[in-house]
Structure 1
């Protein structure tokens, strides 16, 4: 059977989400006994080596970033580094499924931030979806003496940093090589946490932990590679919704590895966040199609 571009893109997006979620599961296990900066540095060495090897083979290291892009790349790095710290710190103390679900609010926060910062138009339907999704996040974090703690705030800060990263990514020109940006990001994150780890008392790494570190770094690399392939294989509007398969992986791994299963209220929040995000992606696709149709009509009118 011949696989269509969109089907291939969807498959790679699901593999990407599996790679990232498995890596998160391994990092959650590793940070129980090892300092966070040590773990990020060691994992980063693996990811950087694999990413550099791929970039060298594909000739991406010989490409140059346009000068105007460096500012965006810098702020993207700030977002990536901040997200790595706050996300993994929160993940250490929160259930995997809960943390993954909170991060699925990104399409909503990116749309909201783009509307506020760049005056991108947002109709009442998408604004309603954003508000519903944020309410779903509240249900997941469960503010109150029993469910909420300061690591829940870390989760929200992580969303903020990833929103910054994704906004900068959206503003990058199409001429900017995505693989080169990935290499720069991997090197920067590894370097920053390498410096931070100098002031931390390192713990001995056992054989099982070494294997987990290599596996985690490898799965991050697989996640990046599959995400890039997915976006280049099919229509972004068709492929992007498959990001939500990360929730399925997180639920399964959270139950199998950590014995966690979300409460009924949390599951309701998860469904609201996923539904709101999917509706937002759908509306963005509809608006994009409408814009392209208007542009095509305008072009044909000028030709008369």
Structure 2
């Protein structure tokens, strides 16, 4: 099976068997400009052409495909419901869904049961995942244009959870923070159990743009500068350090609210933070996050995990 993650700047393709702990052939290519925005495919023809050409050039002949989608428009909620009959669950869920998604008719909605974390009698936990229909429909069309059988479309945080569990990164109470180009995905895992996830509208592009504006250089040059220099407490960033720290401060405040919500709900503290994505490799960022939250913080060093963990997770159906 082929797993695909289409990001604003990079598209990742991974071939693998769903029960294989190790990765097969993997490729990361540049996403054409202006073909996707916040998970929504805008120029499907250009995107299909690039992916098709990549598959042919690399002799990838998989017939099945799954996608993982990162978008701030995805909505994921963990609900607790009184114990009830199977046929009553869906009706109760749609009542709850209306509270979160008033126009739920315009969303594709799925749900699954979760194990109980707290000792609560006569309650069930249900995970609701939803994505706008106009986003999903484009991925269905893309699979058709690639002449591949669509097996699944997964939401990004669920892919991260499954992959972390598979490769033993889900031990303890973990917050997995994946800083993408545009969106930061936060997934909380309690000893291998999915708890909840949230999306924050912030990504590495914002920092790159600050650098580009400050030094009057183009975006690509700013991206290279960002990756080569320590991002705080260095002469390189003296004139823009406050602006960069202000951007991160806004994100950290939202992260703090997520951690506070977890503590208020489950009476437990986050024990460690695991950072994914290219932005997590910014020199000095790990130390800054650890100092800010006073929580042990780790950046995934293995390149395969750092970049391909979410797309690997979408291959793990039924995990």
> Per residue, is there more helix in 1 or in 2?
1
TM-score scaled by length of structure 2:
0.24
**Higher relative contact order (CA closer than 8 Å, sequence separation 6+):** 1
TM-score scaled by length of structure 1:
0.25
